[in-house]
Amino acid sequence: MLSATSIANAQEEAAAPAQPQIDVEQVLVDLDALIHATRATTRCALYDEQIDYLTPLEQVGASVRLNELTSILEGRLDDLADRVAMMGNEATALPCGDDALVPYMTFGQQIGRDVIDIAMRAWREIEIANCSYFADDDFMAAVDRAQEAADTAIIEGAENRQDYIEQQADVWVGIFSSSCANLYFDPVTTLPGQIALALPTP
């Protein structure tokens, strides 16, 4: 079950490169919450109106973070695949509209919004031209939309959240700046790239 502490600290858990010291148990709690939130949204959002599921863009943001958490745990837990499968089974066992899903949705929404805001803030400064030879026209069109949306995006929340978003966005700006000459760098698969692709088209 998702703890109140996890919900309260959701903004602390937005997408970011892995930190040197990892609280494996906390990562597992967060991973479980995001599995519940994303899978319930996939199963239920189209026809159940009893609770608020993730929006399509929040779903992408939460999924980006879920994948990052999984990567953090790979190599640290030999039974990770079994644990993830069990979490998925538990998530599927909860019926659509069940009140037990609400805290998972709250967590997933907060994480999704953090990831979205990090991407929007990063796209204000990312110089994509140097990376463009890696990407196709569809991605570059998505980047144009993302940069346009970033110009008017408002980062809401307390000052500490805004500072956090700023810091994490700066990390991604730095990654793009330092990696575009690397033939193995794929901007499409990055956090900013995934959010750009997920933005609705006009």
Band of pLDDT at residue 15, cut at 50, 70 and 90: very low
Residue 62, φ and ψ in degrees, nearest 5: -65, -35
Structure pTM?
0.85
pLDDT value for 135: 64
Percent above pLDDT 70 for the chain: 87
Residue 129: pLDDT over 80: no
Q: What is the pLDDT of residue 132?
A: 58
* Average pLDDT over the chain, rounded to an integer: 87
Q: What is the pLDDT of residue 8?
A: 41
H/E stretch holding 65: helix 56-73
pLDDT at 14 over 50: no
Tell me the average pLDDT across 57-70: 96
Cα–Cα nearest to 64, from 14, 109, 104, 30: 14
Residue 133: is it exposed, middle or buried by C-beta count within 10 angstroms (0-12/13-18/19+)? Answer: exposed
What is the band of 28 on the pLDDT scale with cuts at 50, 70, 90? very high
* Range 152-161 average pLDDT: 91
